């Protein structure tokens, strides 16, 4: 069900718009300011495009482009003019919005940050990407976990960013914390197209969770982002899919969090998010509640180690032109401590 892309909104529906935003070039503060204005304009387009829309979602890198430039002059703070402009746009157009920024971090490399702002201009969700796309991305690994909020119409909402979605544990964490809708914003380029599609569907099906996923779109003269807006239902079926690669197209659909809740309570076969922690409940009362997974136990003990660990060849960003880091996770740069 998608209500003809959200045109026919049901009483329990949440209409989502995914903006396949044109990939920009942002090398100067002036270009950053212009791109901020472009995003604000697109919030207005989303509202004019569909009066029923509850949430408009912009891709990762929609403000900064794909240059991986960490110039402090281009980095953004939560109290800066860019976030203020996004807040004002959400208020003006009476719509929730999901936005991407590269956030200043005096203690280390910038964070790749996603925010969700409500229709009253308040930041309701604030997330730092846990899994930067190594070795390509220089961003600091996130340190805030995965928040889940009450989103539009009370739907439980989470956000992950791009490469995060390649780890099944990320979607599982969202669902485990109650998310009924998971957003996945990305800047992925065409080589990732098939992986993008099947992980989006798997993330939905394995967790009985709606996922709404979108990439940047078009070319900046170097990179070609693919758009590929995908809204996937909790059974893994694709509700809406932007397959044309048309920049600035907004992919829309209505989703039903109430049906997610119904499935999570009523499904027996393939209720995997429940069955993970209740193995074999037909044979034993309540199912087995232990943790049979070595990797989980090792990670908690901070002893995660692959059998082929010592033979892994790419373990820093030097293949992509970055200097090998010397600072450990949790340590801050000396100048930040002064």
Query: Each residue of 157-215: pLDDT tens digit?
Result: 999 999 999 999 999 999 999 999 999 999 999 999 999 999 999 999 999 999 999 99
For the chain, which residues make up each domain, given as ranges?
3-275, 294-337
pLDDT above 70: percentage of residues in the chain: 98
Backbone φ and ψ of 194, nearest 5°: -70, -40
Over residues 286-291, mean pLDDT: 98
Backbone φ and ψ of 250, nearest 5°: -110, 115
Which residues make beta-bridge pairs with 159?
A: 183
Of the candidates 85, 99, 25, 3, the one whose C-alpha atom is nearest the C-alpha of residue 55 is 99
3-state secondary structure of 247: coil
pLDDT at residue 5, rounded to an integer: 87
Backbone φ and ψ of 76, nearest 5°: -120, 145
Backbone φ and ψ of 101, nearest 5°: -140, 155
Which of the pair, 1 or 235, is modelled with greater confidence? 235
Contact between 18 and 250 under an 8 Å Cβ cutoff? The reply is yes
pLDDT at residue 335, rounded to an integer: 65
pLDDT at residue 24, rounded to an integer: 96
Statement: residue 117 has pLDDT above 70: yes
Residues annotated as catalytic are 60, 129, 162
Q: What's the CATH superfamily of 3-275?
A: Carbon-nitrogen hydrolase (3.60.110.10)
Statement: residue 148 has pLDDT above 70: yes
Statement: residue 47 has pLDDT above 80: yes
What's the whole-model pTM score? 0.96
**pLDDT per residue over 213-240, tens digit each?**
999 999 999 999 999 999 999 999 999 9
pLDDT at residue 312, rounded to an integer: 98
pLDDT at residue 336, rounded to an integer: 60
The confidence band for 36, taking pLDDT boundaries of 50, 70 and 90, is very high
Task: State the pairing for strand pair 156-161/148-150.
Answer: antiparallel
**pLDDT per residue over 251-285, tens digit each?**
999 999 999 999 999 999 999 999 999 999 999 99
Statement: residue 52 has pLDDT above 90: yes
* Percent composition of the chain: helix, strand, coil (DSSP 3-state, to 5): 30, 25, 45
pLDDT above 90: percentage of residues in the chain: 94
Angle at 287 between CA 285 and CA 290, to 5 degrees: 130
Long-range contacts of 317-326 (CB under 8 A, 24+ apart): 317/134, 317/135, 317/136, 317/138, 318/135, 319/135, 320/135, 320/136, 322/135, 322/138
Element (H, E) at 124: strand 123-128
Mean residue pLDDT of the chain comes to 96
Task: State the pairing for strand pair 210-215/217-219.
Answer: unpaired
Over residues 297-314, mean pLDDT: 97
Contacts of 30 (CB under 8 A, 6+ apart): none
Q: How large is the angle between the packed helices 193-205 and 168-176, nearest 10 degrees?
A: 30
Over residues 74-96, mean pLDDT: 98
Statement: residue 1 has pLDDT above 70: no
Statement: residue 338 has pLDDT above 60: no
């Amino acid at each position: 069900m998608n209500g003809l892309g959200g045109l026919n909104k049901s009483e329990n529906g949440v209409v989502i718009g995914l903006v396949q935003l044109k990939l920009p070039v942002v090398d100067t503060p002036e270009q950053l300011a212009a791109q901020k204005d472009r995003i604000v304009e697109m919030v207005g387009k989303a509202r004019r495009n569909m009066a029923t829309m509850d949430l408009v979602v912009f891709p990762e890198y929609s403000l900064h482009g794909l240059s991986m430039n960490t110039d402090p002059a281009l980095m953004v703070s939560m109290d800066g003019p860019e976030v203020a402009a996004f807040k004002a746009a959400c208020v003006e157009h009476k719509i929730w919005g999901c936005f991407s920024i590269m956030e200043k971090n005096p203690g280390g490399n910038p964070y790749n940050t996603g925010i969700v702002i409500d229709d009253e201009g308040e930041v309701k969700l604030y997330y730092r990407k846990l899994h930067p796309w190594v070795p390509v991305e220089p961003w600091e690994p996130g340190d805030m976990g995965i928040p889940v909020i009450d989103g539009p119409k009370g739907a439980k909402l989470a956000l992950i960013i791009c490469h995060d979605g390649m780890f099944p544990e990320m979607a599982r964490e969202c669902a485990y914390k109650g998310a009924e809708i998971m957003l996945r914003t990305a800047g992925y380029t065409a080589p990732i197209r098939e992986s993008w599609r099947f992980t989006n569907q798997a993330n939905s099906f394995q967790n009985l969770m709606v996922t709404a996923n979108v990439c940047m779109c078009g070319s900046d003269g170097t990179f070609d982002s693919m758009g590929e807006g995908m809204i996937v239902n909790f059974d893994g079926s694709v509700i809406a899919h932007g397959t044309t690669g048309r920049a600035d197209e907004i992919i829309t659909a209505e989703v039903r969090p109430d049906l997610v809740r119904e499935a999570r309570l009523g499904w027996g076969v393939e209720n995997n998010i429940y069955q993970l922690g209740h193995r074999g409940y037909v044979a034993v009362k309540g199912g087995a509640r232990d943790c049979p997974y070595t990797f989980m136990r090792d990670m908690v003990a901070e002893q995660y180690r692959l059998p082929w660990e010592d033979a892994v060849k790419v373990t820093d960003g030097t293949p992509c032109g970055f200097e090998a880091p010397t600072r450990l996770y949790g340590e801050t740069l000396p100048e930040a401590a002064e």
